[in-house]
Amino acid sequence: MDMEIFFPGGKKVDALYKGFTVQTDQPENSGGHGTAPSPLDLFFVSLGTCAGFYVLQFCQDRGIATEGLKLQLFTEKKQDKKVVDLIKIEITLPPDFPPKYKKAVIKAAETCTVKKHLEDPPKIETVIFE
């Protein structure tokens, strides 16, 4: 078993994964209490923190100071649907960031493993356990 999903009450759906309990809840306008991120929120968090890891590693590997480094993730929804059409990650570089590395740090962010799974998605199979 890779992950166990359980239901602690209300609209909460939690996961036990690698010894961590990852809590989710729905926002109040969806019948939840908003006590934890929604599963979709965690999807975006996964993408942003994954890109952040690769940017951080890029800087650390080159001895570039990371004070002032940050990433922001923005989403745009399709006008006629509730699904996201564009995910944009903006990197704010430290003041002393070497200009020669600007394109390379973008490339580093784009090597994010979560992003790679979106580009070549796995098949998802749902079955009944008997």
Q: What is the pLDDT, as a whole number, of residue 79?
A: 79
In the predicted structure, residue 119 carries a pLDDT above the cut 90: yes
> What is the pLDDT of the chain when averaged over all its residues?
96
Structure-token match 């359980």, residue found: 6
Distance CA 50, CA 53 (A): 5
Q: What proportion of the chain, given as a percentage, has pLDDT over 70? A: 99
DSSP element (H, E) containing 50: helix 39-61
What tens digit of pLDDT does each residue of 16-37 get? 999 999 999 999 999 999 999 9
Q: Which amino acid makes up residue 58?
A: F
What tens digit of pLDDT does each residue of 79-109 get? 777 889 999 999 999 999 999 999 999 999 9
DSSP element (H, E) containing 107: helix 102-109
Neighbouring C-alpha atoms within 13 Å toward the C-beta of 66: 15
